[in-house]
């Protein structure tokens, strides 16, 4: 009888340990860890390009997390991206703040950075961020560099590039 | 002789798979009846689950540590060591946790199930149970099957947790990665349902497959000592192949 009891205790401990491990994995190592249960308010920001911004991506002020991306939708008439940001109620943000999409590190995820303005009034639920800066697209930057200001300059540059390439080949 | 041998091998292989499928249906039909022997199920969870904890925990720790070392080295080539936590967590939760746990489970618990049931068969204990109107499927096989399905996901979770701990130990404490970077990158890219629970579903299926093969091999073993030895070997071989093959199929569908 005592032996049977010890089996049951052992099994109970094992199942407890297993579920504790599952709870730890689910709450401490996933996006649930960033989930704030506190009250929040929503503000809207429109971007011409959101890059790889994902749902639940962090919203930061001065690098500190203040909320998360709640929804991403395409505005049908303007064809720009409407991003709903859910901001924790405890943070008051001036209503002339600017929103920008940045990347954390070289390979990191994208997040929305709010640059605080100087207005005495704060964002309220449903307000829209007027000043926005879209995510940087590497292809666009390269394109801008290659095409350069005017056409003649671009021609020179491509000639230079061609010369450099052939020069490399000779060596 | 050799020409006629090949088709018979294929045919007998197919017959084995078919018999295994029928055996699964028989187990499922015996499951409600086996609920009468709940104590037996609890005892089996202790044997296949709790007794496997030591090997699972040690292996999880070392797998996590090796992942930490290898991925740190590889990621440093691209200047992306900040992503170490993410890569370790995703590869553990989605693949390594369930698969390595299943392989260890087949070696640690599957073999003992096969040997135990095989010896019951060889010593006519299963026939004796039938004589006493005790259904061996409900009393012997179904509790072990149920125990495997319950224990495997829990073991995989313990394996994953220890793996993350090992990777943190190597990446943060030894190689000097920032602890905040390690955790924040992980928490921002790992999802509960598509990553953690994905691994849990997988390991539940692996638990069913491994215990099905182990009980089937034990139940149908030739009642000789040689037969039990071969059945035990086949349990490990078939469980490993089935685990890896089903892993591929499930990954393709769950992605």
A73 and A114 share a domain? yes
Window from A162-166, B71-75, B237-241 with minimum mean pLDDT:
A162-166
What does the mean pLDDT of chain A come to? 79
Q: CB–CB of B53 and A14 under 8 A?
A: yes
Q: What is the pLDDT of residue A170?
A: 41
Q: Compute the nearest-CA separation of A99 from chain B (Å).
A: 20
Q: Can you tell me the mean pLDDT for B20-45?
A: 93
Number of domains in chain A: 3
Q: Compute the nearest-CA separation of A5 from chain B (Å).
A: 10
Our CA angle for A153, A156, A158, nearest 5°, is 110
Render pLDDT for B173-204 as a digit per residue (tens, 0 to 9).
999 988 888 888 888 788 888 899 999 999 99
Q: What is the pTM of this model?
A: 0.78
* Nearest-Cα residue of chain B relative to residue A10: B46
| Contact between B152 and B105 (Cβ < 8 Å) | yes
| Contact between B64 and B172 (Cβ < 8 Å) | no
Render pLDDT for B143-176 as a digit per residue (tens, 0 to 9).
999 999 999 999 999 999 999 999 999 999 999 9
Indicate the pLDDT class of residue B131, thresholds 50, 70 and 90: very high
Render pLDDT for A70-119 as a digit per residue (tens, 0 to 9).
889 998 888 889 999 988 888 888 888 889 988 876 666 788 898 888 88
Q: Which residues does chain A have within 8 Å of residue B195's beta carbon, measured at their own beta carbons?
A: 30
| Contact between B109 and B52 (Cβ < 8 Å) | yes
What does the mean pLDDT of chain B come to? 92
Q: What is the pLDDT of residue B165?
A: 95
Q: How many whole angstroms separate alpha carbon B5 and alpha carbon B12?
A: 10
A55 and A20 share a domain? no
Q: Can you tell me the mean pLDDT for B56-76?
A: 95
* Nearest-Cα residue of chain A relative to residue B196: A26
The proportion of chain A whose per-residue pLDDT surpasses 70, expressed as a percent, equals 79
Q: Which of residues 65-84 of B touch A (CB under 8 A)?
A: 78-80, 82-83
Structural domain contains residue A147 = yes
User: What residues of chain A have any CB closer than 8 angstroms to a CB in chain B?
Assistant: 4, 7-8, 10-11, 13-15, 17-19, 21-22, 24-26, 28-34, 57-58, 105-109
A129 and A45 share a domain? yes
Q: Which of residues 108-127 of B touch A (CB under 8 A)?
A: none
Q: How many whole angstroms separate alpha carbon B184 and alpha carbon B172?
A: 13
Which structural domain, as residue segments, surrounds residue A145? 140-164
Query: In this model, does residue A163 exceed pLDDT 60?
Result: no
Q: What is the pLDDT of residue A56?
A: 78
Question: How many residues are listed for chain A in this entry?
Answer: 171
Q: Compute the nearest-CA separation of B15 from chain A (Å).
A: 37
Q: CB–CB of A22 and B39 under 8 A?
A: no
Q: CB–CB of A105 and B158 under 8 A?
A: no
A55 and A83 share a domain? yes
Q: Can you tell me the mean pLDDT for B81-97?
A: 92
A42 and A117 share a domain? yes
Query: In this model, does residue B3 exceed pLDDT 60?
Result: no
A129 and A150 share a domain? no
Mutation target to probe the A interface, by most A beta carbons within 10 A, among B46, B92, B195 is B46
Least Cα distance to A35 among B200, B193, B188, B160 occurs for B188
Strand, coil or helix: A100: strand
Structural domain contains residue A13 = yes
Instruction: Give residue A142's Cα distance to chain centre.
Output: 22
Structural domain contains residue A171 = no
Helical (H) or strand (E) element with B150: helix B142-168
Is B187 at the interface with chain A, CB within 8 A? Answer: yes
| A&B contacts, CB < 8 Å | 102
Indicate the pLDDT class of residue A152, thresholds 50, 70 and 90: very low
Q: A66 or B142, which is more confident?
A: B142
Q: Compute the nearest-CA separation of A139 from chain B (Å).
A: 20
Q: What is the pLDDT of residue B79?
A: 82
Q: CB–CB of A106 and B79 under 8 A?
A: yes
Tell me, letter by letter, the H, E, C secondary structure of A101-145: EEECCCCCCEEEEEECCCCCCECCCCCEECEEECCCCHHHHHHHH
Structural domain contains residue A102 = yes
Burial tier of B175 (Cβ tally within 10 Å: 0-12, 13-18, 19+): middle
A109 and A69 share a domain? yes
Q: Can you tell me the mean pLDDT for A135-159?
A: 66
Q: How many whole angstroms separate alpha carbon B49 and alpha carbon A13?
A: 11
Instruction: Give residue B42's Cα distance to chain centre.
Output: 18
The proportion of chain B whose per-residue pLDDT surpasses 70, expressed as a percent, equals 97
User: DSSP letters of A40-90?
Assistant: EEEEEEEES--TT--TT-EEEETTEEEEEEEEEEE-TTT--EEEEEEEETT
Mutation target to probe the A interface, by most A beta carbons within 10 A, among B161, B186, B193, B194 is B161
Query: In this model, does residue A162 exceed pLDDT 70?
Result: no
Least Cα distance to B159 among B203, B210, B209 occurs for B203
Query: In this model, does residue A166 exceed pLDDT 60?
Result: no
CB-nearest partner of B161 from A24, A31, A57? A24
Structural domain contains residue A170 = no
A95 and A148 share a domain? no
Structural domain contains residue A92 = yes
Structural domain contains residue A50 = yes
| Contact between A120 and A96 (Cβ < 8 Å) | no
Q: Compute the nearest-CA separation of B152 from chain A (Å).
A: 10
Q: How many whole angstroms separate alpha carbon B255 and alpha carbon B250?
A: 8
Indicate the pLDDT class of residue A167, thresholds 50, 70 and 90: very low
Q: What is the pLDDT of residue A66?
A: 86
A81 and A99 share a domain? yes
In order of B44, B149, B232, the CA distances from B41 in angstroms are: 5, 11, 22
Query: In this model, does residue A12 exceed pLDDT 70?
Result: yes
What is Dmax (Cα atoms) for chain B? 69
Phi, psi of A57 (to 5 degrees): -65, 150
Q: What is the pLDDT of residue B188?
A: 78
Indicate the pLDDT class of residue B70, thresholds 50, 70 and 90: very high
Query: In this model, does residue A171 exceed pLDDT 80?
Result: no
Q: Which residues does chain A have within 8 Å of residue B155's beta carbon, measured at their own beta carbons?
A: 18
Domain map (residue ranges) of chain B: 38-254
Indicate the pLDDT class of residue A150, thresholds 50, 70 and 90: low
Q: How many whole angstroms separate alpha carbon A103 and alpha carbon B35?
A: 55
Q: What is the pLDDT of residue A7?
A: 86
Question: Pairing mode, if any, of strands A40-47 and A64-74?
Answer: unpaired
Q: What is the pLDDT of residue B123?
A: 93
Q: CB–CB of A11 and B82 under 8 A?
A: no
Q: What is the pLDDT of residue A35?
A: 65
A150 and A124 share a domain? no
Structural domain contains residue A28 = yes
* Nearest-Cα residue of chain B relative to residue A16: B154
Query: In this model, does residue A58 exceed pLDDT 80?
Result: yes
Q: What is the pLDDT of residue A1?
A: 53
In which order are the strands placed within the sheet that holds A128-129?
Answer: A128-129, A40-47, A81-88, A64-74, A58-61, A110-115, A98-103, A131-133
A144 and A82 share a domain? no
Question: Pairing mode, if any, of strands A110-115 and A58-61?
Answer: parallel
- B222 DSSP assignment: -
Question: Pairing mode, if any, of strands A64-74 and A110-115?
Answer: unpaired
Q: Compute the nearest-CA separation of A51 from chain B (Å).
A: 16
Q: CB–CB of B53 and A11 under 8 A?
A: no
Window from A63-72, A156-165, B95-104, B133-142 with minimum mean pLDDT:
A156-165
Assess: ipTM above 0.90: no
Q: Can you tell me the mean pLDDT for A46-65?
A: 85
A95 and A42 share a domain? yes
Q: Compute the nearest-CA separation of A29 from chain B (Å).
A: 5
Q: CB–CB of A14 and B160 under 8 A?
A: no
């Amino acid at each position: 009888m005592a032996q049977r009891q010890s089996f049951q205790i052992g099994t109970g401990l094992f199942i407890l340990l297993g579920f504790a491990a599952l709870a730890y994995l689910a709450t401490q190592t996933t996006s649930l860890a960033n989930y704030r249960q506190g009250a929040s308010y929503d503000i809207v920001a429109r971007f011409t390009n959101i890059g790889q911004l994902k749902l639940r991506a962090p919203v930061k002020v001065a690098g500190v997390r203040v909320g998360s991306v709640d929804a991403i939708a395409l505005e049908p008439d303007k064809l720009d991206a409407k991003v709903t940001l859910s901001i924790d109620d405890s943070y008051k943000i001036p209503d002339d703040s600017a929103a920008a999409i940045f990347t954390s590190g070289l390979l990191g995820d994208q997040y929305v950075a709010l640059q605080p303005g100087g207005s005495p009034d704060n964002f309220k639920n449903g307000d829209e961020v007027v000043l926005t800066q879209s995510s940087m697209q590497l292809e666009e930057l390269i394109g801008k560099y290659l095409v350069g200001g005017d056409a003649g300059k671009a021609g020179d540059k491509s000639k230079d590039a061609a010369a450099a390439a052939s020069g490399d080949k000779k060596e | 002789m050799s020409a006629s041998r090949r088709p018979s091998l294929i045919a007998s292989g197919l017959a084995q798979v078919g018999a295994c499928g029928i055996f699964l249906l028989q187990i499922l039909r015996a499951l409600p009846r086996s609920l009468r022997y709940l104590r037996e199920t609890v005892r089996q969870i202790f044997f296949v689950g709790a007794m496997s904890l030591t090997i699972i925990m040690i292996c999880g720790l070392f797998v996590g540590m090796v992942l930490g070392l290898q991925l740190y080295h590889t990621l440093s080539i691209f200047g992306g060591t900040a992503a170490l936590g993410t890569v370790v967590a995703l590869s553990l939760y989605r693949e390594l946790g369930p698969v390595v746990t299943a392989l260890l489970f087949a070696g640690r618990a599957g073999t003992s199930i096969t040997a135990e049931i095989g010896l019951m068969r060889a010593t006519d204990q299963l026939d004796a149970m039938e004589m006493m109107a005790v259904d061996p499927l409900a009393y012997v096989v179904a509790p072990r099957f149920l125990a495997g399905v319950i224990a495997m996901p829990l073991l995989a979770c313990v394996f994953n947790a220890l793996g993350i701990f090992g990777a943190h130990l190597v990446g943060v404490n030894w190689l000097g990665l920032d602890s905040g970077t390690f955790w924040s990158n992980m928490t921002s890219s790992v999802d509960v349902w598509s990553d953690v629970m994905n691994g849990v579903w997988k390991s539940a299926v692996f638990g069913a497959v491994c215990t099905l093969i182990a009980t089937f091999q034990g139940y149908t073993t030739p009642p000789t000592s040689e037969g039990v030895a071969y059945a035990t070997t086949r349990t490990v071989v078939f469980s490993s192949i089935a685990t890896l093959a089903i892993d591929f199929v499930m990954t393709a569908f769950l992605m």
